[in-house]
């Protein structure tokens, strides 16, 4: 055992001899490594020595049962800065200084009090630890820095000799749970304990978080069960996760990561009411199906053909959740301006445009540690007159104001035209409407001109971190190359038209997989448009990006060496797990021989990393850093949209003209009330002759996609068609 490790063991033993119960925490961290966390804390010297023989570098946790520890986070925390009298009353207690500049004030709980833990009750970023909690004690080390006792304020007296907190602090914290309880109070406490034990039974039966196997989702589910399902306070839920769930996870989470999951579970909407599991009379028992509470994703394999035997259709995750349409900083500021000035404030279109603008501004200027760049292809789907043009106008106005108007494009005339434009301006933002028309031209073209557009878009996307050699023309010298081209595309289209314009080849050649597609839904309510100047901050940030040129040479002959935006350890873990989860889905698609699934899932990790980089650039343009929030947002965003795109592709993209009519038929039923339409109405809507219509009906009935049912209207019996997706067969079926 090294000298430093020997100091930690000596300190742990010294605390125990004074009467403080201790236990080991992860080396360099705060997470307990005992089975039951702080509940295993002890003053038994033999047990303590055994723990530290097994984990010589472990940090020291002190259980705070019977104590009150005031935890002030951050060196510049203003708490009590303007109240010197109160600050002086804290000066008579042991004081631990944390590596992050915070401090722990240690008191003894007064007789008759039984305080637990609180978060922010005293002030922002001022927590307390009491019964059921713990602190990390000196000389433990976190992030390479040691905890230490303040001069002349070390922990050198037993708990009974610590001073009690000042009266004003007691008043703020209240009575807690008095030790001498009335019968009613005892029943309340017992009921609370019963809820917690039931919750722990569920927690112990839930799958642990294993990297690459949905670990983030598993941990979020565990936090949701405690906070939302059983109504346990977030700070207590965090303690339970640290003590009972985290030791089973591979690797274990940090306390900060688990706190983030608990806060998400407490703040986000859920499918069931608060306290759903706590209040159930017919308790389903530990390990029961919690999908109704958690809204768990379907485990079916996405992207497979619907007519493959035994393979269910991919589930529809629905439109993108509204909370994912927000990225802090520049992107949200541009969005807000766009929504304030639009005749029809379309949040999805404004979001797409703002993401595209940030991606363009940061193009060739930043990259992540894996050399991923900000070039993205975004597509917003919305019906006519749904304010698809206003976000483009906002982007154009900003780009014009900062002197980069020559970097804007609106239409693709040819692949060669795209290359020529990028040769002159290696970073460009193309904003084009009705992109479905371009795709239809590519599909129907008899010459290579339109095909070359597709090829160029595919190649430019992958060339963002390399050099793209220009085409050589016959009899002319080599035209040179484009140094790290950055092509950002913001397209718009009508939903059904876009998917119907796609072909099987487009789904598998990488074009579809490179797109980030969002649907705007129904047209929002209108408002009176206003003329407003661009906010100065938006222009200042955009101009900062325009003037930022990392690399060598002058502006006319600039060789960019993009700045590397570092990732935090937590962010890297989240992105690695996203990659591993996508690899699992890729393997499933590969095993089933699904080329669309393999193509789309193969791009998920890259897309997540690009979006996390764009998030960081928006959040702090001068000192961007990819943190856990950026990584988790990007992962959730890409995973949701991947599943949505696969569902929409299977629903709308046809292999041939007859298949297209079949998809059109089922879509009309899907949109109808009860997913049923009478024969006469559907025949009119399909605009087909009776013979072609009957051929589609026969095919879909044989495939099990629809059923023919008898209906009575106006005193007579007729027939109707009902979509069979996810529904049992009805009665009154008409046999052919």
Inform me whether the pLDDT recorded for 706 exceeds 80.
Answer: yes
What's the confidence (pLDDT) of residue 180? Answer: 37
Q: Is the preceding peptide bond at 295 cis, omega within 30 degrees of 0?
A: no
Give the residue-averaged pLDDT of 585-597: 85
Work out the pLDDT band at 702, boundaries 50, 70, 90: low
Mean pLDDT, the chain, integer: 81
Q: Of 49-58, 59-68, 273-282, 686-695, where does mean pLDDT reach its minimum?
A: 273-282
**Is 618 among the domain residues?**
yes
H or E, element range at 337: helix 330-341
Give the residue-averaged pLDDT of 495-521: 76
What's the confidence (pLDDT) of residue 45? Answer: 94
Beta bridge partners of 518: 380
Work out the pLDDT band at 299, boundaries 50, 70, 90: very low
Integer angstrom CA distances of residue 64 from 133, 254, 277: 5, 20, 30
Alpha helices, H only, 402-491: 415-424, 435-444, 448-462
Give the residue-averaged pLDDT of 77-90: 85
Q: Please tell me the chain's helix, strand, coil percentages from 3-state DSSP, rounded to the nearest 5.
A: 45, 15, 40
Give the residue-averaged pLDDT of 242-251: 81
User: Given 120, 138, 173, which residue is the final one in a domain?
Assistant: 173
d(CA 120, CA 337): 33
Residue of higher predicted confidence among 228 and 341: 341
Task: Quickly tell me which residue has 């304010």 as its tokens.
Answer: 387
Q: Are residues 290 and 222 in the same domain?
A: yes
Work out the pLDDT band at 304, boundaries 50, 70, 90: very low
DSSP string covering 679-693, please? HHHHHHHHT--HHHH
d(CA 587, CA 212): 13
DSSP string covering 214-243, please? THHHHHHHHHHIIIIIS---HHHHHHHIII
Number of structural domains found in the chain: 4
**0.75 exceeded by pTM:** no
Q: Are residues 151 and 209 in the same domain?
A: no
**Is 730 among the domain residues?**
no
> 169: helix, coil or strand?
helix
Beta bridge partners of 380: 492, 518
What's the confidence (pLDDT) of residue 202? Answer: 74
Encode pLDDT of 181-226 as tens digits: 343 444 344 445 456 767 776 776 677 777 656 677 778 888 888 8
User: Given 590, 618, 651, which residue is the final one in a domain?
Assistant: 651
**Is 178 among the domain residues?**
no
What's the confidence (pLDDT) of residue 355? Answer: 97
Q: Are residues 490 and 397 in the same domain?
A: yes
Domain CATH for 61 = 3.30.2250
Question: How remote is the C-alpha of 50 from its chain's centroid?
Answer: 41
**Is 736 among the domain residues?**
no
The pairing of beta strand 22-25 with beta strand 59-63: antiparallel
Complete edge-to-edge strand list for the sheet that includes strand 515-519: 408-409, 427-432, 486-493, 377-381, 515-519
Q: Could you give the angle at which helices 347-361 and 330-341 cross, rounded to 10 degrees?
A: 140
> Which range, 395-409, 474-488, 659-673, has the best average confidence (pLDDT)?
395-409
What's the confidence (pLDDT) of residue 686? Answer: 84
User: Given 148, 173, 198, which residue is the final one in a domain?
Assistant: 173
Q: Are residues 640 and 703 in the same domain?
A: no
Q: Are residues 535 and 643 in the same domain?
A: yes
d(CA 143, CA 148): 14
Q: Are residues 221 and 352 in the same domain?
A: no
Inform me whether the pLDDT recorded for 163 exceeds 90.
Answer: yes
Q: Are residues 237 and 275 in the same domain?
A: yes
Give the residue-averaged pLDDT of 363-378: 95
Domain CATH for 680 = 1.10.10.10
Q: Are residues 162 and 204 in the same domain?
A: no
**Is 299 among the domain residues?**
no
**Cβ(522)–Cβ(385) below 8 Å:** no
Q: Are residues 8 and 131 in the same domain?
A: yes
What's the confidence (pLDDT) of residue 305? Answer: 33
Rg of the chain over all Cα atoms, to the nearest angstrom: 31
Give the residue-averaged pLDDT of 644-651: 79
Q: Are residues 169 and 207 in the same domain?
A: no
What's the confidence (pLDDT) of residue 616? Answer: 97
**Cβ(485)–Cβ(464) below 8 Å:** yes
As a whole-number percent, the residues of the chain with pLDDT over 90 amount to 35
> 303: helix, coil or strand?
coil
Give the residue-averaged pLDDT of 128-148: 90
Question: How remote is the C-alpha of 83 from its chain's centroid?
Answer: 41
Q: Are residues 136 and 109 in the same domain?
A: yes
Beta strands per DSSP E along 17-156:
22-25, 59-63, 67-72, 95-97, 103-108, 118-123, 126-129, 134-137, 141-142, 145-146, 148-149
Contacting residues for 632 by C-beta, under 8 A, at least 6 apart? 216, 260, 574
**Is 309 among the domain residues?**
no
Calculate ∠ Cα 102-76-22, nearest 5°.
Answer: 5
Contacting residues for 550 by C-beta, under 8 A, at least 6 apart? 365, 560, 561, 562, 563
Domain CATH for 535 = 3.40.50
Domain that holds residue 462: 322-472+480-651
Inform me whether the pLDDT recorded for 637 exceeds 70.
Answer: yes
Question: How remote is the C-alpha of 283 from its chain's centroid?
Answer: 32
What's the confidence (pLDDT) of residue 283? Answer: 46
H or E, element range at 352: helix 347-361
Work out the pLDDT band at 349, boundaries 50, 70, 90: very high
Q: What φ, ψ does residue 27 adopt, rounded to 5°?
A: -55, 130
**Cβ(380)–Cβ(348) below 8 Å:** yes
Counted residue by residue, the chain has a size of 736
Work out the pLDDT band at 350, boundaries 50, 70, 90: very high
**Cβ(313)–Cβ(306) below 8 Å:** yes
Inform me whether the pLDDT recorded for 59 exceeds 90.
Answer: yes
> Which range, 155-164, 307-316, 407-416, has the best average confidence (pLDDT)?
155-164
Q: Are residues 638 and 698 in the same domain?
A: no
**Is 109 among the domain residues?**
yes
d(CA 486, CA 430): 11
d(CA 449, CA 441): 10
Give the residue-averaged pLDDT of 569-574: 93
What's the confidence (pLDDT) of residue 294? Answer: 43
């Amino acid at each position: 055992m090294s000298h430093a490790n020997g100091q930690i063991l000596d300190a742990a033993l010294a605390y125990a001899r004074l009467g403080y119960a201790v236990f080991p925490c992860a080396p360099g961290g705060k997470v307990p490594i005992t089975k039951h966390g702080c509940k295993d804390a002890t003053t038994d010297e033999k047990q303590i020595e055994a723990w530290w023989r097994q984990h010589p570098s472990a940090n020291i946790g002190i259980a705070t049962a019977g104590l009150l520890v005031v935890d002030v986070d951050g060196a510049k925390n203003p708490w009590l800065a303007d109240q010197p009298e109160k600050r002086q009353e804290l000066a008579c207690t042991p004081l631990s200084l944390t590596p992050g500049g915070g401090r722990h004030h240690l008191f003894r709980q007064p007789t008759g009090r039984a305080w637990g833990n609180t978060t922010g009750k005293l002030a922002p970023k001022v927590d307390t630890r009491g019964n059921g909690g713990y602190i990390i004690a000196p000389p433990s080390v976190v992030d390479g820095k040691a905890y230490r006792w303040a001069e002349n304020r070390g922990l050198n007296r037993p708990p009974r000799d610590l001073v009690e907190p000042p009266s004003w602090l007691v008043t703020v914290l209240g009575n807690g749970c008095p030790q001498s309880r009335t019968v009613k109070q005892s029943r309340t406490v017992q009921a609370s304990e019963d809820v917690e034990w039931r919750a722990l039974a569920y927690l112990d039966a839930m799958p642990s978080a294993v990297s690459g196997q949905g670990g983030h989702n598993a941990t979020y589910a565990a936090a949701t069960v405690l906070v939302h399902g059983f109504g346990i306070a977030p700070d207590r839920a965090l303690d339970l996760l640290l003590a009972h769930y985290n030791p089973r996870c591979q690797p274990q989470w940090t306390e900060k990561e688990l706190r983030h999951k608990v806060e998400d579970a407490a703040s986000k909407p859920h499918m069931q009411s608060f306290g759903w599991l706590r209040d159930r009379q017919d308790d389903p028992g530990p390990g029961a199906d919690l999908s109704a509470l958690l809204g768990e994703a379907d485990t079916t394999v996405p992207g497979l053909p619907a007519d493959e035997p035994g393979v269910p259709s991919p589930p529809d995750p629905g439109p993108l959740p509204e909370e994912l349409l927000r990225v802090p900083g520049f992107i949200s500021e541009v969005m807000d301006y766009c929504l304030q000035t639009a005749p029809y404030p379309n949040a999805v279109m404004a979001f797409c445009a703002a993401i595209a603008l940030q991606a363009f501004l940061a193009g060739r200027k930043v990259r992540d540690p894996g050399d991923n760049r900000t070039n993205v292809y975004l597509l917003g789907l919305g019906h006519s007159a749904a304010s698809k043009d206003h976000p483009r106008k906002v982007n154009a106005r900003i780009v014009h104001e900062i002197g980069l108007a020559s970097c804007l494009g609106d239409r693709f005339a040819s692949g060669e035209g795209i290359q020529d434009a990028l040769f002159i301006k290696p970073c460009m933002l193309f904003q084009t409407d009705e992109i479905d028309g371009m795709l239809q031209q590519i599909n129907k073209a008899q010459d290579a001109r339109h095909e070359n557009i597709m090829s160029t878009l595919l190649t430019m996307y992958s060339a963002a971190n390399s050099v793209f050699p220009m085409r050589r023309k016959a009899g002319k010298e080599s035209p040179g190359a484009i140094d790290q081209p950055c092509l950002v595309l913001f397209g718009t289209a009508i939903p059904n038209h876009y998917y119907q314009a796609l072909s099987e080849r487009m789904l598998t050649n990488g074009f579809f997989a490179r797109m980030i597609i969002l649907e705007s839904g129904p047209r929002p309510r209108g408002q009176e448009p206003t003329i407003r100047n661009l906010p100065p901050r938006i222009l200042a940030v955009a101009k900062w990006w325009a003037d930022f040129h990392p690399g060598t040479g002058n502006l006319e002959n600039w060789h960019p060496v993009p700045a590397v935006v570092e990732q935090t350890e937590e962010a890297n873990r989240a992105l690695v797990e996203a990659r591993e989860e996508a690899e699992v889905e890729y393997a499933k698609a590969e095993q089933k021989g699904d080329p669309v699934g393999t193509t789309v899932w193969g791009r998920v990790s890259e897309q997540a990393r690009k979006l996390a980089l764009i998030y960081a650039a928006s959040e702090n343009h001068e000192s961007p850093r990819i943190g856990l929030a950026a990584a988790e947002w990007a992962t959730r965003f890409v995973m949701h949209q991947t599943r949505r795109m696969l569902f929409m592709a299977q629903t709308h993209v046809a292999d041939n003209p007859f298949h297209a009519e079949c998809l059109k038929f089922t879509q009309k039923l899907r949109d109808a009330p009860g997913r049923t339409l009478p024969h006469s109405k559907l025949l009119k809507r399909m605009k087909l002759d009776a013979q072609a219509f009957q051929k589609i009906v026969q095919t879909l009935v044989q495939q099990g996609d629809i059923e023919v049912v008898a209906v009575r209207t106006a005193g007579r019996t007729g027939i109707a068609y009902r979509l069979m997706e996810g529904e049992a067969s009805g009665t009154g079926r008409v046999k052919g």
